[in-house]
Amino acid sequence: MGRLQVFIISFLTISCVSIFMPNLVAAQLKTNFYAQTCPNVESIVRNVVNQKFKQTFVTIPAVLRLFFHDCFVEGCDASVIIASTSGNTAEKDHPDNLSLAGDGFDTVIKAKAAVDAIPSCKNKVSCADILALATRDVIQLSGGPGYAVELGRLDGLTSKSSNVGGNLPKPTFNLDQLNTMFASHGLNQADMIALSAAHTLGFSHCDQFSNRIFNFSPKNPVDPSLNKTYAAQLQQMCPKNVDPRIAINMDPITPRAFDSVYFQNLQKGMGLFTSDQVLFTDQRSKGTVDLWASNSKVFETAFVNAMTKLGRVGVKTGKNGNIRIDCGAFN
């Protein structure tokens, strides 16, 4: 795992999009948007996702993280997939996005090619919608809930690295900081907690949490909210001056399953980031963590609701977008 690229599913980002009208956006999106133009789009995308998953498990956290990073910067418009040119440094080349796994981009690009290979579908389905569908599919593949995906997004017309900087919250964030960011996207505290459970999948570089295990404070070198046994394991896996390419599982118990074990881990002091563990240590969110730790069905319902709301963030319609021929380049 030493040379494994990091795939932190860190979706806690704030975009530059203005506050939107969720109901208005919801009215523009619909689950059967392609019923007349490309009725088999969902099965086409799902087949590509299944093929990628058979090649590498990394497909799952890579696609999931790509969706979050897309929606939280400029909205769900596939702007994160755009490649940089000599005249423009795109979102994907901002330092905060360099760790986005290539398998996520590859999944969307291959799915777009498969969709466009059908004559009736060619240039009819947006890259943004393909990413939204692929995200639902990887969640299901890892044992998470299935859900109907609202469709009808257009692809964005801009992608600038300058829109990303400073908008990815630190793993040291407290509950107020997390809630403020999510509220800016029309997402409430329950949505934030549900979406945080995406940290049940994927990997993280050691430097993202090293402060918790070596230099948390002058009085407590190790974060007191961290399970002592888990802290010792982290110190062993991520010693000081560790190779920066080293990555570890974010969920130490069921790293390849989308499940509510994430919340059970928090109850045991085994949240990897401060922004994870605070969901349990802060009394305002602890009740939700306790409920979902013991009731996976209630959690899954909340997660599907949060994902649906997330998928409405900054959606482009009309003259504000188009359907890209190549997901990685503007038309």
79 annotated to bind ligand: yes
298 annotated to bind ligand: no
Would you state the structure tokens that stand for residue 235, as one six-digit string?
Answer: 């110190």
37 annotated to bind ligand: no
33 three-class SS: coil
Phi, then psi, of 322 in degrees rounded to 5: -155, -175
251 annotated to bind ligand: yes
207 annotated to bind ligand: no
317 annotated to bind ligand: no
70 annotated to bind ligand: yes
Q: Which amino acid does the sequence have at 246? A: I
Residue 70: name the closest of 2, 132, 125, 22 by CA.
132
CA distance 280 to 33: 40
User: What Cα–Cα distance (Å) separates residue 202 from each residue in 4, 8, 190, 271, 280?
Assistant: 11, 6, 22, 14, 21
259 annotated to bind ligand: yes
User: What Cα–Cα distance (Å) separates residue 277 from each residue in 25, 47, 119, 128, 270?
Assistant: 33, 36, 50, 32, 7
Bridge partner residues of 203 (DSSP): 249
254 annotated to bind ligand: yes
Q: Would you please indicate which residues are annotated as catalytic (active-site) residues?
A: 69
Q: In sequence order, what are the residues at sequence separation of 6 or more whose Cβ sits closer than 8 angstroms to the Cβ of residue 139?
A: 64, 145, 146, 258, 307
116 annotated to bind ligand: no
Binding-site annotation, residues for Ca(2+) = 70, 73, 75, 77, 79, 91, 200, 251, 254, 259
Binding-site annotation, residues for substrate = 169
Binding-site annotation, residues for heme b = 199
Binding-site annotation, residues = 70, 73, 75, 77, 79, 91, 169, 199-200, 251, 254, 259
